Structure 1
Amino acid sequence: MAAHMDAETDDDILHVEDDYYTFLNISRDATPEEITNAYRRLSKTYHPDKHADPLSKRDAEILFNKTRKAYEVLANPHKRAIYDTLGVKGLDTEGWQVVQRTKTPQEIREEYERLAREQEERRLQQRTNPKGTISVGVDASDLFEAYYDDDTRGFLPQMEINSMAISQSIEAPLSLNDTVTLSGSLSTQNGNGSGNIVCSLRHVVSASTWSEFEIGAGNGLLCGVKGFRTLSNRSFASAQGMFQVTPVGLRPGGNLVLARQLSKHTVGYLTWKAGIQSSMNTTVIWDTSYGHFFGVPNTFVMVSYTYKFPDEGRLKGSIKVGTFGAVVEYGVERKISQHNTVGATMVIGIPTGITLKLRLNRATQSYVFPILLSEEPLPSAIFYGTVTPIVAWYVLQTFVIVPYTRRQKQREAKRSREANATKLAERKREAEAAVCLGLPLLCLLCHGCEESTHPVLVTLRGGELRAK
């Protein structure tokens, strides 16, 4: 959190922007009349036609153009609102429609290439929408449940990968209403593997209705049809029918889902599944901005709570009790960058055992590592499964994330200083030119003071000359 705040502070310091209010010598709540008067006053002082010396004429032209630019922004209510909120960078729509004249041709070319590359990446991301998940199951129960009667046991505990699953999907829009999705998955557990590949075509009939046809292969040919329709403002329905070709014949199946929003924070689902594993499920979900919900699906009851931290993290916990036993889960997630999120969850179940789930989300890709610590609810497994991720996160943040962020900030500061060196020199030259251009008028006023019998106070501030 501190590193994030420091980065934002450094960005505010390193990016040098023109202050149009200071240049016109007016307050930020100045009226349109005050802005116009300041513009007219400075335009008379900095107009190039009033200076005969070539050097002064060039400086006056620079200051006159800057005065006109400041007036164009502050005199326009829309541009002024954007400038007051976002600064000069807010006036730069899409990043490159307005190019600063102080940039060299090489800098303009590099800026254009960078923005074009980012735009192409966003377009590709939006068109393909790739999603992927990698899950690797690790059996580390030998750490807490060692079998000492094993003759082949060594000095170190044995850990093995007992399962692995990979899934990936991409989309290919054919038109505004038709989209093709190609997805595939592979999984293996205890030496037995399976996989499938599915191609689907979704057609959007209207704003409230869509249909989908899919065909796949894996453990036999699979064909299916899906449909979705919004029934009212508070309810919708979806239906799916499929059949799979197996060595023993056709295996049909289907499901029907009806959902309705019962209140502001409550939604009810009624699900009917037909086929080999036919069932009827009723689910009630209560959700608020704090992330609470309560469900009663099938033959178990679950209560879950999520607390969201201000610094882009959240703490979650749940209790599930049913005919199969009981499961207690608690964990934490933390966003470490714009596209990266890490999390750790402890799952304590009877009789499922104790499992530590580590998760890394990078954009649309997910990496999950469920680690089996014990098949029984041992206190030592619970303690180390809870403390180890906390210590590991502290070490990772102290020795990896913070140094990396610091180096990134130093490189960004160096680039910003180099980029702002020319701009700072130009602003210094403009200030010197403003003083030089205001001196003749100051001398004229002082000469008038010598001939006057009344005291006159002359001040020169920010390019504005006043006599009292």
Structure 2
Amino acid sequence: MDDETDQETTIEDDYYTFLNISRNASPEDISNAYRRLSRLYHPDKHVDPTLKKEAEVLFNRTKKAYEVLNDPHQRAIYDSLGIRGLETEGWEIVQRTKTPQEIREEYERLAREREERRLQQHTNPKGTVTVNINATDLFSKYDEDYSDGFSNGLFSCIEVSGMSFAQSIEAPLTLRDTVTMSGQLGTQNGTGSGSINISAKRLVSSKGWVEVEVGAGNGPTFSLKAFRTLTKRLFCDGATILQFTSHGVKAGYVGTLAMQLDKHMVGYLTYRAGIQDAMSTMIVRDTSQSYTAFSIHFGLLHSFVSLNYTYKMEEKQLKLRGSVKAGTFGAFLEYGAEKKVSKHSSVSAAVRIGVPTGVTLKLRLSRASQAYTFPIHLCDEVLPAPIFYATVAPIITWTIIKKLIIDPVVKERTEREKEKQKEMNKSRMLEKQREAKAATELMKETVSRIRAEEESKKGLIITKALYGRFVYPQDRVATDESGHRDEMIDVTIPLQCLVKDSKLILHKASKSQLPGFYDPCVGEDKQLLVQYLFHTHTHECVIQDDAPLRIPVSSHKVNTT
């Protein structure tokens, strides 16, 4: 894992950005960009020995970028996994006569073989811990019992009514075969139960898999499961279950037919027979902004209708959930939120208000593959007080914990990651800084010619360009004069060098890979400030590091009156 993390942290060359072309550039675009930079960096164009040496380095880099992107085979691999893809063990055996698609498939095969070797050395443990808490005495309507409870202490009103533990270990044998061992142990109001299961799953083809499972608990069980893609929009799965008890053998069947209704919507039809007879249908719509599920269930034991909705706030890493369910057993309304606190951790809280179940607060902490759930039963009836406290208390608690614990920890971790990234790329960034300064020096003669041409026709002239981390536009010049240095560099010459026919086009990518640029603040958010003249009028704009830019634009015009 450490090697993989280090590879992700190490900065790689972006050939597309270096040539200032889009990722879907045509062969003609690639050739034109190569010829433009070749004229700029060709060693024969420079007489000074120092500049000649620097030009040779940049020319070789330009040539390498061109060779990779101009070769459909190498470009296919580079597009998939970058420079590391070209250096993967086994790449040299790939036939050069294959198409780009075949090359991608060949590389993926090599990557799968490497992944298979890695998987054979790992297991994937998953576990859940559930602690059921009964706190109904806190909101008992009998006032005479209230004082006695508090006289003995607040915690005397709270008891653990049940606990359950579930753990599974998934051991991939190959990319097609997986063995899973799982177990569950629980107790509720003094009554315990447990089970253990072992399953073997095999990926038969890209369209289906089969799984055999045996278990023991309340009698031995055996099941055979299968999944199959029928068409591009239709797929199904089924399971046959045999349960051996003291009263004989019980057989059950579960089958689901699913159809992709549109890009974001899937419909399911499920039938159960034997152990539990029922039929249900469900429609799920899942987009980047929301998740909606509507289901109707008809069964011998109970029937119900339910609606679930989740609003996803990706920028805040927050999900707001709500659901309603009604049937022969009663009805309930549930609402809550889930917040991602780190890359592998999240917390959630939900309030369930139901008849006849009462009010329950559910707290959940997920960390990597482990989940800890705490359902707290507050009241057997639907009363205002438990609903209010169940809603407000988690919000206040989360605000305090976030302010005093989570924010400082996350900030410290972020700073530590930035320092690690800077340290890992220290030598690399020194090399890029030297290369950027050399490129800027080599551009000066060309820039003088471009600027003269643009001035003659009152075209696009870059008067000032800064790249890096800064906050307020009015402080950018003042900070330098006062001695405080923001982490930014002057890229006026490199941008002017990219001007062609009174236009400047930068594509969606980090600008640190452009000729004459480097990253002055690794790990920090960066911006690009551009001040320019067009038709003798002053213009200015600020964009984020990876945002595209096309100038001149009339909205950038600065009002000097």
CA spacing shift, 1:74–1:335, aligned 2, 3 Å = farther
- What's the TM-score once normalised by structure 1's chain length? 0.69
Contact 1:227 1:240 in 2 (8 A): no
Contact 1:136 1:368 in 2 (8 A): yes
Counterpart position of 1:67: 59
Matches within 5 A, 1:170-209: 170-175=169-174, 177-205=176-204
Distance 1:287 1:27 in 2: 37
CA spacing shift, 1:96–1:336, aligned 2, 3 Å = farther
Instruction: Give the SS at the match of 1:376.
Output: coil
Matches within 5 A, 1:116-131: 123-124=118-119, 128-131=123-126
Shift of 1:223: 3.1
Counterpart position of 1:163: 162
CA spacing shift, 1:35–1:202, aligned 2, 3 Å = closer
Contact 2:225 2:237 in 1 (8 A): no
Shift of 1:373: 1.5
Shift of 1:186: 0.8
Distance 2:208 2:244 in 1: 26
- 122-131 or 167-176, larger mean C-alpha shift: 122-131
Contact 1:143 1:157 in 2 (8 A): no
Matches within 5 A, 1:220-259: 220-229=219-228, 233-234=233-234, 236-246=236-246, 249-259=247-257
Counterpart position of 2:313: 309
Counterpart position of 2:130: 135
Of the two, which has the highest radius of gyration? 1
Matches within 5 A, 1:371-386: 371-386=376-391
Contact 1:60 1:437 in 2 (8 A): no
Contact 1:230 1:236 in 2 (8 A): yes
Q: How many pairs align? A: 397
AA at the equivalent of 1:179: T
Shift of 1:171: 2.6
Counterpart position of 1:274: 274
Matches within 5 A, 1:402-421: 402-418=407-423
Distance 1:197 1:92 in 2: 46
Distance 2:203 2:11 in 1: 49
Counterpart position of 1:32: 31
Distance 1:339 1:179 in 2: 24
Matches within 5 A, 1:13-24: none
Shift of 1:37: 4.9
- 5+ long unaligned stretches in structure 1: 1-13, 99-118, 442-460
Match of 2:401 among 390, 396, 404: 396
Tell me whether 1:366 sits opposite 2:371 in the alignment: yes
CA spacing shift, 1:46–1:273, aligned 2, 3 Å = same
Contact 2:271 2:279 in 1 (8 A): yes
Distance 2:370 2:136 in 1: 28
Instruction: Give the SS at the match of 2:60.
Output: helix
CA spacing shift, 1:79–1:185, aligned 2, 3 Å = farther
Aligned-pair Cα RMSD in Å: 4.5
Contact 1:60 1:433 in 2 (8 A): no
Distance 1:310 1:432 in 2: 39
CA spacing shift, 1:27–1:381, aligned 2, 3 Å = closer
Distance 2:149 2:438 in 1: 89
Distance 1:333 1:263 in 2: 28
Shift of 1:371: 1.2
Counterpart position of 1:349: 354
Identity of aligned residues (%): 37
Distance 1:230 1:170 in 2: 27
Counterpart position of 1:337: 342
Distance 2:205 2:36 in 1: 57
- 5+ long unaligned stretches in structure 2: 1-8, 90-113, 446-492, 498-561
AA at the equivalent of 2:339: R
Distance 1:323 1:32 in 2: 71
AA at the equivalent of 2:57: N
Contact 1:179 1:202 in 2 (8 A): yes
Q: Deviations over 1:118-176 (max 9, x none)?
A: x9899349963432211111222232227348589503242222211111122334455
Distance 1:421 1:293 in 2: 50
Match of 1:324 among 326, 329, 348: 329
Instruction: Give the SS at the match of 1:296.
Output: strand
